[in-house]
Structure 1
Amino acid sequence: MIFVVLGTHELPFKRLLEQIEQQIKGGHIDEEVIVQSGHTSFKTKNMKLVPFMSYKEMEEMYDQASLIITHGGTGSITTGIKVGKKMIAVPRLKKYGEHNDDHQLEIVEQFFNSGHILQWNESQEFAEVLTAAKTFTPEPFQSGRVKILSILEDFIDQV
């Protein structure tokens, strides 16, 4: 199963669903596709759209998915990284009315450059990224919590 996460932002993100629909019709996706669609309405017989899910339902979807395709939200990306999932992130863009600015470009780029996720942008064929996902091994999650606590303890000791 492929889990698609659009998040809860109030602006629609049809561009990603249109792309996934094309990949299903083109035979590049043959698994069941479940979409957490948020405020994006989309008519299709090829995907199951669920506007909103509880935290527990989202966790279950992340666990069950063979691949997660997500918008460029930090929470959606880090949730997948923490459970070691293969992920493709697609930033919402201001020019399409998908977000208020283009901050998701930076978020996606950072996680891509660190080897945690794959990314799709308009200069690529989506099918190419799907193919790359088959052999992609994401970098494992490493919490910075211990390092941050150590820095804080050192600071407090010096004060």
Structure 2
Amino acid sequence: MIFVTVGTHEQPFNRLVKKIDDLVADGKIKEKVVIQTGFSTYQPVHCDNHKMMSFEEMQNTLKEARIVITHGGPSSFIEALQFGKVPIVVPRQEKYHEHVNNHQVDFTELIDKRMNNIIPVYDIDQLANTIKNYDKVVKTKNSGETSNNKQFNEHLEHIVDELVEK
């Protein structure tokens, strides 16, 4: 099962939700997909979807998922990491009116470079290929076996402190 979460930011993330729905419709994703759509206005037709999920529902779905795809909000991909998943991260972009600026792109780039424990996708047209090659790509990343939450949180705290100082 693939779990997609766009978080709770009030701007829609239709670009990601529609792309996933289209990949299922086109047969490029053959397994079950669950999407937490948040404030997206596009309504998926080919995937199970929920506007919001309770904490318990989110935790259970994260545990069950083979692949987790998130927006670039730190709490969403950190949750996936806590369950030993290497998430595919599709940051929201200002040019598509998905957020007020490109901080998700900047943060995703920084975490990928420093921690190597996420799989960033900046071009939505690369998502199908990333999902197809997930098992191969994940082997090149730091996962639960090679890193730990404490070390990650310490690095993250340092990164956030540096960003706040700027």
Contact 1:23 1:126 in 2 (8 A): no
Distance, in Å, in 1 between the alignment partners of 2:127 and 2:5 is 16
Which runs of 5 or more structure 2 residues have no equivalent in the other structure?
156-166
Q: 1:25 corresponds to which residue?
A: 25
Distance in 1 (CA, whole Å) between partners of 2:33 and 2:110 is 27
Count of residue pairs the alignment pairs up: 148
| Alpha-carbon distance, 1:122 to partner | 1.8
Q: With the length of structure 2 as denominator, give the TM-score of the two structures.
A: 0.80
User: 2:118 — aligned with what?
Assistant: 117
AA at the equivalent of 2:18: E
The whole-number CA distance in structure 2 between the counterparts of 1:112 and 1:15 is 22
Q: Where does structure 1 differ by over 3 angstroms across 4 or more consecutive aligned residues?
A: 144-148
Shift, 1:70, TM fit? 0.5
For 1:16 and 1:89, the matched residues in 2 are separated by: 11
Alpha-carbon deviation of 1:144? Answer: 3.5
Given that residues 4 and 33 in structure 1 are in contact (C-alpha distance below 8 angstroms), is that contact kept between their aligned partners in structure 2?
A: yes
Alignment check: 8 A CA contact 1:86 1:133 kept: no
Name the CA distance, whole Å, in 2 between partners of 1:102 and 1:145.
Answer: 23
Once superposed, what is the RMSD of the aligned Cα atoms? 2.1
The alignment partner of 1:9 has SS state of: coil
> Identity over aligned residues, as a percent?
30
What CA deviation, in whole Å up to 9, does each residue of 1:64-123 have, x standing for no partner?
Answer: 001011100000010111111131100101111100111001221123222211111228
Scaled by the length of structure 1, what TM-score is found?
A: 0.84
Pairing 1:69-148 to 2, within 5 Å after superposition: 69-113=69-113, 114-122=115-123, 125-135=126-136, 136-137=138-139, 138-139=141-142, 140=144, 141-142=147-148, 143-144=150-151
Q: Superposed, which structure 2 residues align to 1:6-85 within 5 Å?
A: 6-85=6-85
